Structure 1
Amino acid sequence: MEDLSIDASTSSTLQCDENEESDEWDEMETTGEQTVCLFCPLQFLTIAVALDHCRTEHNFDLLELKTRFGMDYYSYIKLINYIRRNKCSSNEIFEASSALWEHDSYLKPGEMETWLMYDFDDLGTAPSTPHYAIDGKTPLSNISYADLQRKINHLENELRHKCLLLKNTQKDIEQMKEVTRTIIEGSDNELPIPTTCSLRADSDYFQSYSHFGIHHEMLNDKVRTESYRDAIMQNTDTFKNKLVLDVGCGTGILSMFAAKAGAKMVYGIDQSEVVYKAMDVIRENNFQDKIHLIRDQIEKVSLPVEVVDVIISEWMGYFLLFEGMLDSFIYARNKFLAPNGIVLPNRCNISLVGVSDLDSYKKYIHFWDDVYGFSMKCMKDEVLTEAFVDTVPEANLITTSCVLIDIDLQKCDQNTCNFTSKFNLEVMENGCLTGLVGYFDIFFDLPNAVMFSTSPKEKKTHWQQTVFYLKEVLDVKKGDILAGSLSCSRLKNNLRGLSIVVTIGKHKYRYHMD
């Protein structure tokens, strides 16, 4: 058996160390795997010393490269892998007019590489670990102990959430194994196909939000973004020292508004890969101590806290309900919101108005009558079942508007998407009705109230309006009342899509948003 006893001299040393009083550390020893120079066989105890060697002996200045090419941590990974694979010299790197390592193939990990443990993001920042060190020792006089502690806490939180993600992934793998096993064995057991289809649809949906173009479009929508900003920044008492949950945080803009308004901590959740860049955005704006971002589905995530005081979310889709994000918002509200907590926005509605727009009708519907000399009229029936997202000029509105449904977001449930509402639209002038237009309004009922509308009468938003074209245009006269109903329900094959049925008198029209 191994002897675990401690001799007297060692014991005495330990006691001496324990009794020694020291308010500050003078230096920190770093140990671990040997770090091999990037350009020669020499090995060093730390990356810091190896960096100093590369700079003095090989003229390889990593900080200069970072500044010249605007490198981030991913670029640093590519650089290290490029040097290792191509065994190039420092001169080749610095004489190049562009980054030679930009190809994504250099992100693929190779053998265990200690260089990849270096905290590249902190290189050249202040306060930060010194650029270079001597004899493997980093003076703690240049490092704030509080900063180190915060970093440790941040890394512990990240590790905890990565463990949760791994656990959820393992569950998904086991579920898929069970489905596959049942199929192969030809079991009579009922297969969970709807769940599988839903997972695939969710994957496609969240992947679409990984593209930066869609976030540029949303951030560039001033009506949307400035309304959220005003609702938060003009009601700082609502956020001061509060725990906030941002559902579908995207680039983190709402999380940063909340942190700036004085929130104690903001938890941002998003399933798409854009959350990784959002983490960079948070650090770039020095909110890393106030905002914690997690990549996960809200239905699966475990938060570091049991409840939050405020939930903010920009969940709205075309015709308000398309995309099905309202369900995630409701789930988050039911699971994480404190009993006296609030949701923002807290109220919304959907409205309908009649439109007369023969030019657009010809563009989208009559187009199929003659396509380069060929008749494609058979296409029109299918085209007419699609709801069009378009910007409707106010001048083309021909009726009054009518609110179809009011939604209290503090109380609504997941059946909200399924509703039937009657409407009465008064015709304001003689003309022909080419379609009906749906739009929505959003309300933040706070001490300093804020609202915005996607109505054709208001400033354009990226949601625009939803147009339901009629199969045949209807002649109408001023004073006529268009009485009818609109039914909305989820599509069976895509729970994020909608089925819309409009009835006007004896005419019934069916549409889908898919």
Structure 2
Amino acid sequence: MFAAKAGARMVIGVDQSDVIYQAMDIVRENGLEYKIKLIKGRMEEVELPMSKVDIIISEWMGYFLLYESMLDTVLYARDHYLVKGGLLLPDHCSLHLVALADTDLHKNELRFWDDVYGFRMTCMRAAVTVDPSVLVVNKEKVISDSCKIKDIDICTCEVSSLDFTSPFTLDVTRDGDVTAFVGYFDIDFGHLTEQISFSTSPFHKSTHWKQTLFLLEEPLSVVKGEKLEGRITCRKNRKDPRSLDITIRVNGRTAKYHMQ
């Protein structure tokens, strides 16, 4: 509706969920049915009322940016419907990693299993760490600078490039025990007259996406000035492409995560 109010000749909305029926009612309630056409279905399967569009707008971002693989659908729409020189909004994004030293959080999540009403259940630690947590981390507990691990130009990237392996180097800013790595993303609308961007960094205002926490089963002791060098791999799960399989290797350790 914002696009229609801004002067678009026609707006086409596509959504597979039943909420689109409420969206249709809202469009009619605001007298915009002559400008807005809503279609229920998968973008890859529906037929649009026109062969090309000038602008594609989508809030496709998932937790850790790529969770749920919604960007794949945007790239399909780009390749099949966007005119040459058309706009994608947003048009650029990047993934980043920092180290976290939050012993209280680590204790609450993992040390609990060391003594459960007098019984040791440490085997449960692995079951807990394999699932990344989505939460707002305490920025005061961040113990390194940030490292960009993935840069995506949505105007040109291919679906195959969204699975990636990237080296990273984190400069440690103070002594402490690294208890987790934290992932976040930045979003840019770089082709507008007035450039707009936002970040899901722990140092910015919190958003719906929060941050993604990759707990370490055992903390990693570091000192100020040390460089934490590692490698992160992120791939769609073969059985469930909406899920992510993530591996972080650092200082001879390997931690595997499944985001579902």
TM-score (norm 2): 0.97
CA distance in 1, matches of 2:218, 2:122: 14
**Aligned pairs (5 A) from 1:350-369:** 350-369=95-114
Give the letter for the 2:219 counterpart.
Answer: V
CA distance in 2, matches of 1:368, 1:259: 55
CA distance in 2, matches of 1:441, 1:354: 17
**Aligned pairs (5 A) from 1:269-418:** 269-418=14-163
Report the aligned-residue RMSD.
Answer: 1.0
**Identity over aligned pairs, percent:** 48
State which of 247, 250, 258 in structure 2 corresponds to 1:504: 250
TM-score (norm 1): 0.50
CA distance in 2, matches of 1:259, 1:347: 24
* Segments of 4+ moved more than 6 angstroms: none
- Higher share in strand: 2
Deviation string 1:237-258 (CA, Å, 9 cap, x unpaired) is: xxxxxxxxxxxxxxxxxxx111
CA distance in 1, matches of 2:117, 2:45: 52
Alpha-carbon deviation of 1:416? 2.6
CA distance in 2, matches of 1:410, 1:457: 28
- Higher share in helix: 1
CA distance in 2, matches of 1:403, 1:260: 37
Unaligned runs of 5+ in 2: none
Alpha-carbon deviation of 1:372? 3.4
State which of 415, 435, 438 in structure 1 corresponds to 2:180: 435
CA distance in 2, matches of 1:321, 1:424: 21
Alpha-carbon deviation of 1:288? 1.2
Aligned to 2:212: 466
Alpha-carbon deviation of 1:376? 2.3
CA distance in 1, matches of 2:186, 2:26: 30
Deviation string 1:248-289 (CA, Å, 9 cap, x unpaired) is: xxxxxxxx1111111111000000000000111111222211
SS across alignment from 1:376: coil
Unaligned runs of 5+ in 1: 1-255
Give the letter for the 1:410 counterpart.
Answer: C
Aligned to 1:206: none
Alpha-carbon deviation of 1:374? 3.3
Query: Relative contact order (alpha carbons < 8 A, sep ≥ 6): 1 or 2 greater?
Result: 2
Give the letter for the 2:146 counterpart.
Answer: S
SS across alignment from 2:160: coil
CA distance in 2, matches of 1:472, 1:447: 48
CA distance in 2, matches of 1:282, 1:373: 60
